[in-house]
Structure 1
Amino acid sequence: MGDPGLSRRGFLAASAAAGVGVTALSGCGGDSDGGSSDGTTTIEWWNISTTEPTKSVWAALAKKFEAQNPKVKLKIVQLENDAYKSKMTALIASGKLPDIFHTWGGGVLKQQVDAGLVEDLTDRTKDFADGLLPVAKEPYLLDEKVYGIPFDIGMVGFWYNKALFKDAGITEPPTTWSGFLDAVRKLKAKGITPLALAGKETWTGMYYWAYLAMRTAGAAAVQKAYDDKDFTGDPFVQAGQHLQELVDLQPFQKGFLGAAYSSPTGQGATVGNGKAAMELMGQWAPVVQADVGKGLGDDLGFFPFPAVDGGKGTITEVFGGGGGHALRSGAPQEAVDFLKFFASEATDLELVKKTGALPVVPAAESAITDPNIKAVQAQLKGATGFQLYLDQAYAPAVGQEVNDSVGALIAGSKSPQQVTESITKTAKEEQ
């Protein structure tokens, strides 16, 4: 979800009962019979909900579900994005997955499905899944079968500080890449850090390259390059060159290569505390900015990733994804019951009102009050193309190589051409 990533990859949504964290990892999922002598079924639920308010909201929802289902106990394990992904990779190798687990869909989910580790939910969820927002369900559909149920949907765009833009004399958010670079120069000229980046977590830099590839090559070409196992075409090299132009302006905060995303000194906090003018992040950004920093309140604005002059892509093609839950193969009915509970209108209203999530149940859309979240929703509804996070859309090794190669470009150790060659080489090895 990157972090996913919704951190991507990623989503940085959240949940966990107090005291359950990394310590719970020793009892990993799928290896218990779920039953107990008093007739209680224990369901293990793994998610990436580590920031407030989502963490507390999800913990309360878990208690509500338990109250409605007295014979079911939810055991919550929550991990930050990158730790979650590496732990899940290990579990896939072991052939055991948790009863309920976070998924972004796409190529990663496909790998788990191909290994026979994920439950086909097509028939077991039909009574409630049919009513969910179609675009939200797409990442979890494989060969027209349902392998995951979404709990949110969203997109990546620029979150910006209106006051800092005004100080730099920027009257309107840029709509072209050249205009964006001009805005970066204006901010720098005023002594304002233009962008915050969590260089330590390479999925955050991947967003730039992915969007630039979409804007130069067009959204459809980004998936086609993966299918063809060839990223060496000119538009993909140009995407790296455009990113190189940005990097050469030194737009990021001091020490960005060692910065995390959701730490007190990381990317989200840097923007939330007014120390940088922008970040490129998913729709969960305001929640994280306010949790790890002060938050910007009315000074926070949102704008879509700019168009690239002469590119084949358009500003209405969006990059993002959602968070969903999948079940291990053979998961008990109680796990399906939880998915139904989590995809209900009542739960979705809670998520929209209290965590800033975008609704997957159409009836919950009326609960959106935040103007920025409304702007994201409008972009999504008007989208003419949609691309799932690359580190989820592609097979895990390829997605990781995209993140790592782009991270190397940003750090100055790979050229735009080398980025495309490295990704192509990894894609071919996946065959």
Structure 2
Amino acid sequence: MDQNRSSRRSFLTLALATPLAATALASCGGSSGPGQAAEGDATIWFLTGAPKEEVRQQSVDSFNESSEVGDLAATAYQNDAYKTKIRTAIGAGQAPTLIFSWGGGSVRDWAEAGQIEDLTTWVEENPEVRDRLFDAAWIPGLVDEKIYAVPHETVQPVVLYTNGKLFEQVGAQPPTTWDELMALVPVFNDAGIAPISLAGQSRWTTMMWLEFLVQRVAGTDAYLAINNSQPDAWSNPDVLQALTMAQDLVRAGGFVEGFNSVVADQNADQALLYTDRAAMLLQGSWCYGSIKADGGDFVSSGNLGFQSFPVVTGGKGDGLSTVGNPAQYYSISSNATDEQKEIARAYLADGVLTEEIAQAFIEEAGEVPILKGVEDQLAEAPDGEFLTFVYEIASTAPFFGQSWDQAISPTAAEELLTNIAQLFQLSIDPQTFANNMNAVAGQ
């Protein structure tokens, strides 16, 4: 196992032992373009989507108003488009000054190729930057124990959202076990309601189901073996069982009809939940804000429920562990000028770390910033019940697994997403899936 993979293991092990109260940080955003940047200005790319896009823009605007070293010019992209755009830009030597990521495999590849800056010395010389953040959030930004990506924004576990109105309509309760979830499928289908909304075209949304099933059925070590690209990790009999259970759910009609054409970037999967066409949705905690913003009175009426993923009876994994994004990350492009790098470092120190932006994430985006000591702010917020729920999930989880498509290399991640789509389309079986993934482990 190489040191980079050891770093990922360290993160997941540390997340197991480190309370969320030992972490921290806030965000960034914008809406101009690289071509609009004045000479010498730094550039920043991030993701679209209300309400976080507005908070990111607020962060950039606030920084620019007070900056003494120069301005940031921001461009926003949809999630899937960004992933393609940033790979192309970095490969062509045309990356923005500040590179948004989710840590893990992409940061490792960029660091090994000399495309991003080693920020270790800068962080050591500015301990207040590190001290305000959740300790566990730093690990996905490490390569050979050096810091190549600074965490920011929010902690994002994956949540099972439910439509309380539809559960009441069929006289059922949200599932606490996998067997209960499977038993609900025919109940909702018979009532003309899709049991589960899924944006299958986006693929990474489908991956969440496999991640939780592997953790619940095969346990933490099996999950880590996949994250660390260990040989034949996918051939673990318990992992194969988890893949089989996923296909059982598809065959049973668990997902909305036509799920392979539903796109997450358009929040179509969320709309199926709050328009009463689907009873459940497995998605990131980041969806709460957009469900509240777009769903009319769905949240205020109390129809939105939220819980952890069901346990699997007899499985090796506990029911308290979670998966998702411990944070989001910014790296600095090695191709940037010294002036641009100075602006980027100033933004990381004074722009994404403000209390004002952290409060905006809480109140406007309905998310938990990775700042230490925010428990009281969360409890007092308009969405305090949900925010406290997310905080407690992340702070008490024995294991917080980083998303596979971020933990492994971009090459292996693309193969993973392709095979996940085929698995849920029932065009390949679990063994073929495992063979295909074992063949690209470590690439």
Measured against the shorter chain, the TM-score band is 0.7 to 0.9
Map of 1:6 onto structure 2: none
The CA distance in 1 between the partners of 2:387 and 2:362, in whole Å, is 10
Residue in 2 aligned with 1:339? 348
CA distance in 2: counterparts of 1:408 and 1:373, whole angstroms: 35
Aligned to 1:44: 43
Residue in structure 2 matching 1:53, options 28, 51, 54 = 51
Q: In 1, distance between residues paired with 2:414 and 2:239?
A: 17
Corresponding residue for 2:8? Answer: none
* Alignment partner of 1:267 is 2:269: yes
Q: Which amino acid aligns with 1:115?
A: A
CA gap 1:116/1:302 in 2 versus in 1, 3 angstroms = same
CA distance in 2, matches of 1:291, 1:391: 28
Letter of the 2:270 counterpart: G
Instruction: Determine whether 1:326 maps to 2:349.
Output: no
- Structure 1 residue 269 displacement after superposition: 1.6
Question: Paired residue for 1:282?
Answer: 284
Task: Answer yes or no: is 1:303 the counterpart of 2:312.
Answer: no
CA–CA distance in structure 2, aligned partners of residues 206 and 142 of structure 1: 25
Deviations 1:15-50 (A, max 9, x none): 432xx4xxx47x59xxxxx874xxxx41100111x1
1:72 alignment partner, SS class: coil
Distance 1:344 1:120, change over 3 A: farther
Q: Which residue identity does 2:90 align to in structure 1? A: I
After superposition, the C-alpha distances for 1:224-272 in whole angstroms (9 at most, x for unaligned) are 24432311121121111110111012122232211111326x2122113
For 1:136-172, what per-residue CA distance to the aligned partner results, in whole angstroms no more than 9, with x for missing partners? 222212332222222211211211111111212223x
TM-aligned CA distance change 1:168 to 1:136, over 3 Å: farther
Deviations 1:301-357 (CA, angstroms, capped at 9, x unpaired): 111111222211111221011212221126522111111220233321222221122
Task: Measure the CA separation in 2 of the matches of 1:42 and 1:239.
Answer: 49
Which of these residues, 351, 357, 375, is aligned with residue 365 of structure 1? Answer: 375
Matched with 1:160 is: 162
In the TM superposition, residue 385 of structure 1 has moved relative to its aligned partner by: 0.9
Asked if residue 196 in structure 1 is aligned to residue 197 in structure 2, the reply is yes
Question: Which amino acid is 2:358 matched to?
Answer: D
344 and 363 in structure 1: CA distance in 2 versus 1, 3 angstrom threshold: farther
In structure 2, relative to structure 1, the CA distance for the partners of 1:235 and 1:95 (3 Å cut) is: farther
Secondary structure in structure 2 of the residue aligned to 1:188: helix
Corresponding residue to 2:261 among 258, 262, 269: 258
Answer whether contact 2:28 2:58 (CA < 8 A) is retained.
no
Task: Please give the per-residue CA displacement for 1:373-398, whole angstroms capped at 9, x wherever unaligned.
Answer: 21121111111012111000011111
Aligned 1:312-323 pairs, distance under 5 A: 312-321=316-325, 322-323=327-328
| One-letter amino acid matched to 1:131 | R
TM-score w.r.t. the length of structure 1 is 0.87
Contact 1:349 1:364 survives alignment (8 Å):
no
**1:364, distance to aligned residue in structure 2 (A):** 3.1
> Where has structure 1 moved over 3 Å in runs of 4 or more?
290-295
Task: Give the whole-Å Cα distance in 2 for the aligned partners of 1:347 and 1:339.
Answer: 13
The equivalent position to 1:394 in structure 2, one of 403, 408, 415, is: 408
Q: Distance in 1 between matches of 2:352 and 2:83?
A: 22
Letter aligned with residue 333 of structure 1? E
Alignment of 1:169-248 (within 5 A): 169-171=171-173, 173-225=174-226, 226-230=228-232, 231-248=234-251
- Conserved? CA contact 2:28–2:60, under 8 Å: no
Q: 1:362 corresponds to which letter in structure 2?
A: K
The whole-number CA distance in structure 1 between the counterparts of 2:313 and 2:292 is 35
Moved more, 381-390 or 89-98: 89-98
AA aligned to 1:194 is P
Does the Cα contact within 8 Å between 1:96 and 1:117 map onto a contact in 2? no
Q: Tell me if the contact between 1:155 and 1:283 (Cα under 8 Å) persists in the aligned partners.
A: yes
Structure 2: where are the runs of 5+ without partners?
A: 1-26
3-state SS in 1 of match to 2:243: helix
Question: What SS does structure 2 have at the residue aligned with 1:349?
Answer: helix
Contact 2:55 2:357 in 1 (8 A): no
| Matched residue SS, 1:277 | strand
> Could you tell me how far apart the structure 2 residues matched to 1:292 and 1:299 are?
14
Answer yes or no: is the 8 Å Cα contact 2:375–2:388 preserved in 1: no
Q: 2:418 aligns with which of 380, 394, 404?
A: 404
Q: CA offsets per residue over residues 171-228 of structure 1, 9 Å max, x none?
A: 3x32221111112332223222111111111111111111111112212222224432
Measure, in 1, the Cα distance between the counterparts of 2:274 and 2:333: 38
Call closer, same or farther: CA 1:144–1:327 in 2, change over 3 Å.
same
Task: Name the CA distance, whole Å, in 2 between partners of 1:223 and 1:245.
Answer: 24
Q: Give 1:382's aligned amino acid.
A: T
Name the structure, 1 or 2, with higher relative contact order (CA <8 Å, separation 6+): 2
- Equivalents in 2 of 1:233, 1:70: separation in Å? 55
Counterparts of 1:311 and 1:67, CA distance in 2: 54
Q: Is the 8 A contact 1:272 1:290 kept in 2?
A: no
Aligned residues: 399
With the length of structure 2 as denominator, give the TM-score of the two structures: 0.85
Structure 2 partner of 1:382 = 396
One-letter amino acid matched to 1:336 = R
